[in-house]
Structure 1
């Protein structure tokens, strides 16, 4: 697929997709006319990258852990620096905090909906 289609399917700007390519996070084949051609698997990959960026991870760390998100997994232990491990541990804890908060909010919304539905004559 061309960059425009990947952009539409992922909600990611073409500019960001080119940046991801510069950072080595995704790779495109080049057609004879020079256009980028992306494999369908990059739709999920871009969504993963965006999620990791939204979580606060820098692209250099994302590049190292992306293989861990694939199946089969290929993990490169020589790339695991103490800084990277500390960053990932902190990020995991931040994610767990956000999950707990979201679960609390989901329960509160569920209770609110139940109360409103019980009150509203139907």
Structure 2
């Protein structure tokens, strides 16, 4: 397999990751993703870009900002060499923020369970009443 066979254009990366072309360009602009360029200025990505984009999407979906992600990525690329006390602090803060969000979401889910149970009971009673009349 040649190097050309292992590279993909932005459209293929988009299709394989579910990220829009616009998002991929944004990731590059923020320094979160890299590509090479053809002589016609088309972006080319390696296979490793698929995993990187999946990670970026997870981090964004968890509420991390571009700046925070940029701070953490060196630890992904070379963890033993790039970790700093500041980076560790950022990771711990983000983890705590996510834990707080999870707790809030679980509480909300529990409230919804109560509402669903009450609504289901109400509709069941209405149906039963309609059948008996």
**What is the DSSP-based 3-state SS (H/G/I as helix, E as strand, rest coil) of the residue aligned with 1:37?**
strand
Instruction: Name the structure with the higher helix share.
Output: 2
Q: 1:94 to 1:38 in 2, by over 3 A?
A: farther
Larger radius of gyration between Structure 1 and Structure 2 = 2
Structure 1 match to 2:116: none
Find the aligned partners of 1:79 and 1:28 in 2 and give their Cα distance: 28
* Contact 1:21–1:27 under 8 Å retained in 2: yes
Find the aligned partners of 1:34 and 1:27 in 2 and give their Cα distance: 14
Find the aligned partners of 1:86 and 1:39 in 2 and give their Cα distance: 31
User: Are residues 1:59 and 2:97 paired?
Assistant: no
Q: Unaligned stretches of 5+ in structure 2?
A: 1-7, 107-133
Aligned residues: 100
* Contact 1:26–1:42 under 8 Å retained in 2: yes
Q: 1:94 to 1:39 in 2, by over 3 A?
A: farther
Find the aligned partners of 1:78 and 1:35 in 2 and give their Cα distance: 39
User: Are residues 1:90 and 2:104 paired?
Assistant: no
Q: Unaligned stretches of 5+ in structure 1?
A: 102-122
Per-residue CA deviation, residues 2-22 of structure 1 (Å, 9 max, x unaligned), is 000000000010000000000
Given the two structures, how large is their TM-score scaled by the length of structure 2? 0.62
Q: 1:22 aligns with which of 15, 18, 29?
A: 29
Structure 1 match to 2:129: none
Shift of 1:80: 3.2
Shift of 1:31: 1.0
Structure 1 match to 2:15: 8
* Contact 1:3–1:14 under 8 Å retained in 2: yes
Q: CA RMSD in A?
A: 2.9
